[in-house]
Amino acid sequence: MTRILDVAITHAAKPAVIERLLDAYLEELLGAGHRDYPYLSRYWSEPDRHPFVILADRRTAGFALVRDVEPDVLHEMSEFYVVPALRRQGVGRRAATLLFERFGGRWQLQFAVANARARSFWRFVVPAATETPNPNVLVHTMTWIASNPSTGTRTPDVSR
């Protein structure tokens, strides 16, 4: 196993890289035959959506799709994917941390209750998050506050 030295996120100027990774992501998440993600094109046309490519040692390692639920107040990690070969090497944790630092403020994400790997990963990355199970749709929602180091401020959690 090669040690990853540098992890970065970069805004995806065009959807091609994410489209290539999205097939593998959806197949892993939903099973074979699931290739439709109807919101992808919106990440390049709507100002409240932010597409990112995750890089590990300057090579494509995954993607993240971030959505502003309430601009400058609440952000959502809509989708997050690291290629299997680079998992458990700190790539996902570092990329997520870079995104939280970039946007700051309140965050939320959802994952399927049955997805034990997602639950384990996000609990490790954001241990102070509040989890809310939703029995009607079999998802957990996690919420937390991220600091914004550029301003040195934390956004107050107004959800409580």
- What is the pLDDT, as a whole number, of residue 99? 92
Coil, strand, or helix at residue 87? Answer: coil
Strands annotated E in 47-150: 49-56, 59-70, 74-82, 105-112, 130-134, 139-148
- What is the pLDDT, as a whole number, of residue 135? 55
Element at 10 (helix H, strand E): strand 7-11
Summarize pLDDT for 72-125 with one digit per residue, the tens.
788 999 999 999 999 999 999 999 999 988 888 888 888 777 788 888 888 888
Q: Is the pLDDT of residue 38 over 70?
A: yes
Residue type present at position 74: L
State the average pLDDT over residues 49-59. 95
Residue 31 Rama label (left phi>0; alpha psi -120 to 50; beta): left
The more confidently predicted of residues 4 and 52 is: 52
> Model confidence at 159, in pLDDT bands (50, 70, 90)?
very low
Q: What burial letters (b/e) apply to 5-19, b meaning 16+ CB within 10 Å? A: eebebeebeeeebbe
Whole-model pTM over 0.75: yes
Residue 112 and residue 122 in contact, taking contact as beta carbons nearer than 8 Å: no
Any residues with CB less than 8 A from the CB of 80 and at least 6 apart, and which? 62, 63, 64, 65, 92, 95, 96, 109
Q: What is the mean pLDDT of the chain?
A: 80
State the average pLDDT over residues 9-25. 91
The more confidently predicted of residues 86 and 129 is: 86
Q: Is the pLDDT of residue 64 over 60?
A: yes
Work out the end-to-end distance of the chain between its first and last CA atoms, rounded to an integer number of angstroms.
43
